[in-house]
Amino acid sequence: MARSRSLMVSLAVLVLLLWSAPWTHGRRSNVRVITDENWRELLEGDWMIEFYAPWCPACQNLQPEWESFAEWGEDLEVNVAKVDVTEQPGLSGRFIITALPTIYHCKDGEFRRYQGPRTKKDFINFISDKEWKSIEPVSSWFGPGSVLMSSMSALFQLSMWIRTCHNYFIEDLGLPVWGSYAVFGLVTLISGLLLGLCMIFLADCLCPSKRRRPQPYPSKKILPESSQPLKKVEEEQEADEGDISEEEAESKEGTSKDLPQNAIRQRSLGQSLATDKS
pLDDT (tens digit per residue) in 212-263: 555 555 555 554 544 455 556 566 666 666 555 565 555 555 555 554 555 5
**For helices 147-167 and 177-206, what crossing angle results, to 10°?**
140
CA angle 140, 145, 149 (to 5 degrees): 85
What is the DSSP track for 163-220? HHHHHIIIIIS---HHHHHHHHHHHHHHHHHHHHHHHHHHHHHHSPPPPPPPPSS---
Whether 127 contacts 48, CB under 8 Å: yes
CA-CA distance, 95 to 87, in Å (whole number)? 15
Section 171-186 average pLDDT = 81
Residue 114 pLDDT > 90, yes or no? yes
Report pLDDT for 238. 67
Q: Which residues pair with 102 in a beta bridge?
A: 51
SS3 content of the chain, % helix, strand, coil (to 5): 65, 10, 25
Whether 138 contacts 109, CB under 8 Å: no
Q: What is the DSSP letter of 111?
A: E
Whether 74 contacts 15, CB under 8 Å: no
Known catalytic residue at 165: no
CA-CA distance, 178 to 172, in Å (whole number)? 15
What is the DSSP track for 30-70? TSEE--TTTGGGGGSSEEEEEEE-TT-HHHHHHHHHHHHHH
Residue 20 pLDDT > 50, yes or no? no
Tens-place pLDDT, residues 44-95: 899 999 999 999 999 999 999 999 999 999 899 999 999 999 888 888 888 8
CA-CA distance, 67 to 52, in Å (whole number)? 13
How many CA atoms within 13 Å lie on the side-chain side of 36?
15
Q: Which of 59, 106, 198, 205 is catalytic?
A: 59
Report which listed range, 3-7, 11-15, 72-76, 160-164, is most confident.
72-76
Q: Which residues pair with 27 in a beta bridge?
A: none
CA-CA distance, 185 to 192, in Å (whole number)? 10
Q: Which of these, 106, 145, 152, 99, lies nearest to 126 by C-alpha position?
A: 106
Report pLDDT for 111. 92
Give the percent of the chain with pLDDT over 70: 64
